[in-house]
Amino acid sequence: MTNIGNLAGIRCPECGNEDRFIITATIQAEVTDLGTDVADCSDWHWDDQSMTRCPECDRDGPLAEFQMQPEGVTATTPALPTMQSITATPNLLEFAERELQWLLDVKVQVEAPSSVMLGFDQAIKAARAVIAEARGLAE
């Protein structure tokens, strides 16, 4: 069964399980001298970096490792820019513009969980900031 709710896009890369995962989550606790309770306004929180374990095969790692590749993204798709790859590129502006274009192209092609799309938005924002800075330096 393909997950469409909480576990949309999540599958164990080892055994293919997509029914159940153990995810380390944070929650706000209301603590008094007498005891501890889940705070009224609290909500479960986890993200791509949250430690996740597959109860079927015991594989564990950050939740991001359990994220299925969105449709249209292949193994040959270039990786997202990292600080290391940016500083290793002599022409920063050209590199950032290429990455930004790639991000925009991929973003319109994929249907991914909101956590993944948020990552795209953050990367796009970061690429735009780099471009703006590089242009500022060039002038």
Nearer to Zn ion, 54 or 127 (CB): 54
Please report how close the Cβ of residue 66 comes to Zn ion at its closest, in angstroms. 9
Can you tell me which of 3, 7, 53, 56 binds Zn ion, judged by CB under 5 A? 56
Report the distance separating Cα 51 and Cα 25, nearest Å.
Answer: 8
Nearer to Zn ion, 29 or 57 (CB): 57
Q: What residues from 66 to 125 belong to the interface with Zn ion (CB under 5 A)?
A: none
Question: Distances in Å between the alpha carbon of 72 and those of 8, 68, 69, 106, 109?
Answer: 16, 11, 8, 8, 7
Residue recorded with tokens 């022409």: 91
Can you tell me which of 17, 69, 89, 115 binds Zn ion, judged by CB under 5 A? 17
Can you tell me which of 9, 10, 11, 12 binds Zn ion, judged by CB under 5 A? 12
Please report how close the Cβ of residue 90 comes to Zn ion at its closest, in angstroms. 43
- Under the binding rule (CB under 5 A), the answer on residue 57 touching Zn ion is yes
The contacts of residue 68 (CB under 8 Å, 6+ apart) are 9, 10, 11
- The stretch among 47-55, 69-77, 83-91, 92-100 that binds Zn ion (CB under 5 A) is 47-55
- Under the binding rule (CB under 5 A), the answer on residue 60 touching Zn ion is no
Q: How many helices (H) and strands (E) does the chain have?
A: 3, 5
How does strand 60-62 pair with strand 51-53? Answer: antiparallel
Which chain residues interact with Zn ion by CB under 5 A? Answer: 12, 14-15, 17, 54, 56-57, 59
